[in-house]
Amino acid sequence: MREVSVNTIRDAVASLCIQANKILPEDLTACLLRAQKQETQPLPAGVMTDLVNNLAAAKELDCPICQDCGMAVVFLEIGQDVHLVDGLLTDAVNEGVRRGYREGYLRCSVVEDPLLRKNTGDNTPAVIHEQLVAGDRVTITVAPKGFGSENMSCLKMFTPAAGREDIIQFVLDSVLTAGGNPCPPIVLGIGIGGDFEQCAYLAKKALCRPVSVRHKKEYYKQLELELLERINQLGVGPQGFGGRTAALAVNVETAPTHIAGLPVAVNFGCHVTRHMSRTV
């Protein structure tokens, strides 16, 4: 049994909130640079150049890569040989978010009640997902989720009679309906299976997978690649202005499901799909 202070997790969360908002994963940056070179029409090419220049400016000025610094989504993989001490884990995570957003001068966008709409002033509470895993370490992933893309996300409860093409068409229709609203080129996280809430969780978790890593099962790897190709044939293009690049990557995650159902969720990530991890 290894003791881990929740204060260590608090400090890691605070740091990750700031870093994730300022630094895009390298493989996603590489995707944007490749997409910039692929656009030949003046308008989409100009848009891609602006997006790439925005990343460079954020790095030079040490400021967030997007004005929407997102709702803090925190994934915790907790080794079952870990003993957490010095307080409550949930309190520590929220204190980390509070410190990160205040000390990083990040925009606070969380309201304490969905209808009364009063801002909490510190971007808490976070959305926290906890998973017990083997070992004596804690892996923390912070994914600031902007709502321009989040608002375009959707879920459908298919019947088991639905097939691969039905799922593909659902994803394509979702992308067409979203248009330029999620700030394309997008990253899509797709959850297939589980139940109503698990497939949505899978879709969100999929957005935290590196865009350079394909699904370990060949069937779903090919589904990811086909979806990416067909999405980019829709003509949506960067920021919805047409062109060759509507999506940078499609990540699919799956889970066992009930014999009577086939849930599918699509979670949109914008061209700055942010996430950063650390193990303590």
Q: Is 251 exposed, middle or buried, given 0-12, 13-18 or 19+ CB atoms closer than 10 A?
A: buried
Give 194-217 pLDDT, tens digit per residue: 999 999 999 999 999 999 999 999
Residue 107, SS3 per DSSP: coil
Q: What is the pLDDT of residues 51-65, one digit of tens each?
A: 999 999 999 999 999
Position 258 confidence tier, pLDDT thresholds 50, 70, 90? very high
- Show the 3-state SS of 4-25: EEHHHHHHHHHHHHHHHHHCCC
Instruction: Using pLDDT thresholds of 50, 70 and 90, give the confidence band for residue 47.
Output: very high
State mean pLDDT over 269-279.
97
What pLDDT does residue 41 have?
93
Which residue, 207, 202, 201, is CA-closest to 28? 207
In angstroms, the CA 144 to CA 21 distance is: 7
Token readout for 190 is 């797709």
**Structure-block tokens of residue 73:** 């989504």
Q: What is the pLDDT of residues 121-179, one digit of tens each?
A: 999 999 999 999 999 999 999 999 999 999 999 999 999 999 999 999 999 999 999 99
Neighbouring-strand partners of residue 239: none
Q: Which two tokens stand for residue 103?
A: 């000390």
In this prediction, residues 262-268 reach a mean pLDDT of 98
Domains and CATH numbers, the chain: 2-22+65-145 (no CATH), 148-278 (3.30.1330)
What gap in Å lies between CA 43 and CA 84, rounded to an integer?
A: 53
In the sheet with 186-194, reading across from the earlier edge strand, the strands are 154-158, 262-269, 186-194, 247-257
Q: Which residues touch 85 (CB under 8 Å, ≥6 apart)?
A: 3, 4, 5, 6
- Residue 224: the pLDDT is 98
What's residue 181's pLDDT? 97
Query: Two tokens at 174?
Result: 């979702």
Positive/negative CA dihedral, 44, 154, 223, 199: positive
What is the mean predicted confidence (pLDDT) over 6-21?
A: 98
DSSP state of 125: S
Q: Which pLDDT belongs to residue 58?
A: 95
Q: pLDDT band at 6, cuts 50/70/90?
A: very high
